Structure 1
Amino acid sequence: MTVETAPDQYPAELRVRADPVASDDPECAQWVRPTLKQTGLEKRPLKLAYDAASDGFTPYAFHRAVDRLGPGVILATSTDGQRFGGYNPKGWVGYGEFRPGLSAFLYVWKPGDSLVKLRKTGGAGMCVVDKPEEGPMFGAEGLCIPMRPGYEKRARCKLGPYYDRMPDGDNTIFSDGRMDVILEDLKVYTGVYEDGEPIPFDDAIPFSLT
């Protein structure tokens, strides 16, 4: 096993950006694909599985769109223009599991085309909290978009316990040290698989160290 043959068995690559894939839509090409270096989705065509603008900002809509589609990456845009998200190497199934993932990461685009990626910390455990009654939850506190009634578009971030802090030591990916923002948009991209090709992690994960 090597990082080339099994990239998701290793912590996230932080510095090198992934090369474009011809099938990417413009938004994916600019904001999502570059983050996917050294992941199982690096060279795989992606599809827009969930778009909150058309599917709805609800946990039901989120899980209906992404469950059992394998690894995925979210792209969120706040009302003040910040772009950020996270890579989930084990996907969602909506069973209430704490799904592990050593290669999981959070990311944020800073001014000047600066991409910051933050690795999963403390081992693989609880890369995502995959509850059917909540939207995307990276760790218990890392990047959380629970989509609870009255706060459907609220995103929270507290770094340290489950994902690394920012390079300057901040414990949030949001600007000005804020712990939460309001979302303008939320999308999830997942891999495209050929007919008959197995989709990774499309069911419960009884046990995994990575």
Structure 2
Amino acid sequence: KDGWSAEAFHAKLDKQGPAVVFCRTAAGGVFGGYNPKGWVNYGEYRSSLAAFLFVWPDGDTTQLPTKLLKVGGAALAQVDDGSGPKFGMDSLVILLREDNPKRVTSKLGSFYEKLPGGINSVLPDGRREDQLTELKVYTGVYKDGEYVPFTDAEPFALY
């Protein structure tokens, strides 16, 4: 609806507070992540122990998803570097680059826990890369003048 670019992503989502990312892929993957710190596009790594990923391993959204917790401490819960959503450096990466805007990659284990059985990707069949068919991001709804959390830089924040 709003375009497949990092610019469109940040124009809509910067300084909107916590968010949920929801994705579907060409290979049938259904997954996403919760970003409690939101995006501000200041080029920082945002830390949080409350961030998590979720995945429907077989794509069946009538069942409950599997929740993947943040591991290795709070650091790099989310990378806010001007690209699309990135959870950890490699756990769930959607760069929204001009040359391949729908490309998604995943490698679990360093920043977010692996799936049961040691599967180290949220993508179908443990693959490392796929093409998005759907990307939705949900944020809170705030009244005019209401405080929106996490709308500025967070140097050295670990919560």
Return the TM-score normalized by structure 1: 0.71
**How many angstroms apart in 1 are the aligned matches of 2:142 and 2:115?**
34
**How many angstroms apart in 2 are the aligned matches of 1:79 and 1:176?**
13
Question: Aligned-pair distance for 1:193?
Answer: 1.5
Matched, 1:146 2:113: no
Aligned letter for 1:62? F
Q: C-alpha deviations, 1:136-180, integer Å up to 9, x for none?
A: 011100100011222110100000111001111111112212011
Whether the aligned pair in 1 keeps the contact of 2:57 and 2:122 (CA below 8 Å) is no
Give the unaligned 5+ runs of structure 2.
none
Aligned letter for 2:19? G
Whether the aligned pair in 1 keeps the contact of 2:51 and 2:77 (CA below 8 Å) is yes
Aligned letter for 1:174? L
1:98-177 to structure 2, matched below 5 A, reads: 98-111=45-58, 112=60, 113-132=63-82, 134-177=83-126
Return the TM-score normalized by structure 2: 0.93
**Secondary structure of the corresponding residue to residue 20 of structure 2:** strand
Give the unaligned 5+ runs of structure 1.
1-53
Larger radius of gyration: 1
Question: Aligned-pair distance for 1:102?
Answer: 0.8
2:154 aligns with: 205
**How many angstroms apart in 2 are the aligned matches of 1:99 and 1:184?**
27
**How many angstroms apart in 1 are the aligned matches of 2:91 and 2:69?**
11
Instruction: From the two aligned structures, give the one with the greater helix fraction.
Output: 1
Q: Which runs of 4+ in 1 moved over 6 A?
A: none
- Bigger mean CA deviation after superposition, 69-78 or 104-113: 104-113
Percent identity for Structure 1 against Structure 2: 49
1:85 aligns with: 32
**How many angstroms apart in 1 are the aligned matches of 2:128 and 2:23?**
15
1:21-100 to structure 2, matched below 5 A, reads: 54-100=1-47
Aligned length: 156
Aligned letter for 1:187? K
Question: Aligned-pair distance for 1:80?
Answer: 2.8
Aligned letter for 2:42? Y
1:27 aligns with: none
2:130 aligns with: 181
